[in-house]
Structure 1
Amino acid sequence: MNVIGKLRDRIRQKGFRNFFASLWKRYVFFHWELLWMERDLVTPVPPHKLRPYEGVRKVDITPHNTGAFAKHFGDRVETMAELAAEGHTGHMYLDADGHAVAFIWGSIRDYHDRHYYGCWFPVKPGEFFEFGGEMARPYFGTSLSVDVQVALWEAMAAQGCHTVVDTCETRNIPAMKLHIRMGYHEQGRITHVYGLFGRWRFYRESRYQGSRLEPLRKPERPAVSAAAQA
């Protein structure tokens, strides 16, 4: 298929406006907002209604076992090996065939994300920075999303940490809702990432009042009295 045909198909799939909006963000300008959040490592996770899962086991990520990412995260194999070689704490979850279906990372020192955002994430004493959490699509909506975090918190607590901090891009609504489910609290600050012409990136930090998560919370259902039920 020639270039014109590929462009025509892409426009048909995404729509004219969305297609050119994605081109603008990729080659001209984009602005990401990374919302900072934190929580302690001892408060229990609130109850949830996520689907159960089975048949996976947790394995520490090392520079020598990252081939397990090839099936579901083939473009991350080298990145996973680099992060492990740098001494960050990484967990991956393997299915019965030995394929990684989920992973997550933690850093007890300032973390430079040279693989995606390109900026530094500072870490204070007693904190660790949680990053890179991802799951294969068949596990979306399962309690694995909770268990991978709790297991990492326990591992980092054993290293002397008492607080987990991380960031979440404000356009990623499912991830924002996951932070609510996990009991995170907003720090009231945002790291802004700007991209220009697909080549240069600029960064700044801002503060805000109020809550950016509150509009995403599910409204609580009013209690129904016994008299009303009767």
Structure 2
Amino acid sequence: MNVVTKISEHIKQKGLRATLAKVWKHYVFSHQELLWMERDLVSPVPPHSLKPYPPLRVVKITPDNASAFARYFGDRVGTMAELANEGHTGHMHLDDHGDAVAFIWGSARDYFDRHYYGCMFPVKPGEFFEFGGELTRSYWGTELSVDLQLELWKAMAAQGCDKVVDVCEFHNIPALKLHLRMGYTEQGRIMNVYTLFARWRFYRETRYSGSRLDALRKPSRPSVTATAT
């Protein structure tokens, strides 16, 4: 399907205004705001109502076992092997067939993300940068989204880390809600990624005060008080 056909189909499905906005963002100019988040590795995770999931096997990702991604993440096999070769710590969760259904990565040193955003994410001593976490659709909404991180935190704590930091795109509401559910807090920093004509990228860090995520927080339940009758 060529570009013109794709645009025509998108207009039929989403309308002209939405299509023009998408074309502008993809081919002319886009701006992504990546919010820096952080968390210590010892505070308990807040209560949640996620669904349980079948037992899985946690395995450290190596160049030799990256083929386990072929079934559900076929386009990531080479990337997984590259990241393992670079010395980053990666975990994959395998089902009964030996196929990876989830994965996550951590780096205890400055991480240059050449696979997606194309910029450097600095890491301070004692921290590690968490990135690349993903689950197959059948595990969305399960406790695996929590356990995936807890297993990595345990491994990084054994390497001397006491804090996890990462970035989350401001428009990725499900990911931001996951961060809040895990007890992350905002650092008040934003990595701005600008893309021009789908070719050139520019980066700039800005700061803010207060919280940009208050609207996503669940309101606390009002306390129950006795009333006279």
- Once residues 71 and 14 of structure 1 are traced to their aligned partners in structure 2, the CA distance between those partners, rounded to angstroms, is 32
The alpha-carbon deviation at position 224 of structure 1 amounts to 2.8
The alpha-carbon deviation at position 5 of structure 1 amounts to 4.6
- Once residues 112 and 3 of structure 2 are traced to their aligned partners in structure 1, the CA distance between those partners, rounded to angstroms, is 37
Matches within 5 A, 1:24-103: 24-103=24-103
Cα deviation, 1:114-148, whole Å, max 9, x if unaligned, reads 00000000000100000000110111100100000
TM-score (normalised: structure 1) = 0.94
Aligned to 2:194: 194
Matches within 5 A, 1:1-230: 5-225=5-225, 227=227
Cα deviation, 1:190-230, whole Å, max 9, x if unaligned, reads 000000001100000001010012111011121233558x9
The amino acid of 1:70's aligned partner reads A
The alpha-carbon deviation at position 67 of structure 1 amounts to 1.3
- Structure 1: which 4+ aligned runs deviate by more than 4 Å? 1-6
**2:176 partner SS:** helix
The alpha-carbon deviation at position 152 of structure 1 amounts to 0.4
TM-score (normalised: structure 2) = 0.95
- Once residues 5 and 41 of structure 2 are traced to their aligned partners in structure 1, the CA distance between those partners, rounded to angstroms, is 53
- Once residues 3 and 160 of structure 2 are traced to their aligned partners in structure 1, the CA distance between those partners, rounded to angstroms, is 55
- Tell whether the 8 Å contact from 2:7 to 2:19 is kept in structure 1 after alignment: no
The amino acid of 1:71's aligned partner reads R
- Once residues 187 and 2 of structure 1 are traced to their aligned partners in structure 2, the CA distance between those partners, rounded to angstroms, is 43
The alpha-carbon deviation at position 19 of structure 1 amounts to 2.4
**2:21 partner SS:** helix
- Once residues 156 and 46 of structure 1 are traced to their aligned partners in structure 2, the CA distance between those partners, rounded to angstroms, is 21
**2:10 partner SS:** helix
**2:102 partner SS:** strand
The alpha-carbon deviation at position 14 of structure 1 amounts to 3.3
The alpha-carbon deviation at position 23 of structure 1 amounts to 1.8
Taking a change above 3 Å as real, the CA distance of residues 136 and 164 of structure 1, as seen in their structure-2 partners, is same
- Once residues 175 and 95 of structure 1 are traced to their aligned partners in structure 2, the CA distance between those partners, rounded to angstroms, is 24
Gaps of 5+ in 1: none
Taking a change above 3 Å as real, the CA distance of residues 138 and 128 of structure 1, as seen in their structure-2 partners, is same
Gaps of 5+ in 2: none
What percentage of aligned pairs have identical amino acids?
70
The alpha-carbon deviation at position 99 of structure 1 amounts to 1.4
The RMSD of aligned alpha carbons is: 1.6
The alpha-carbon deviation at position 6 of structure 1 amounts to 4.4
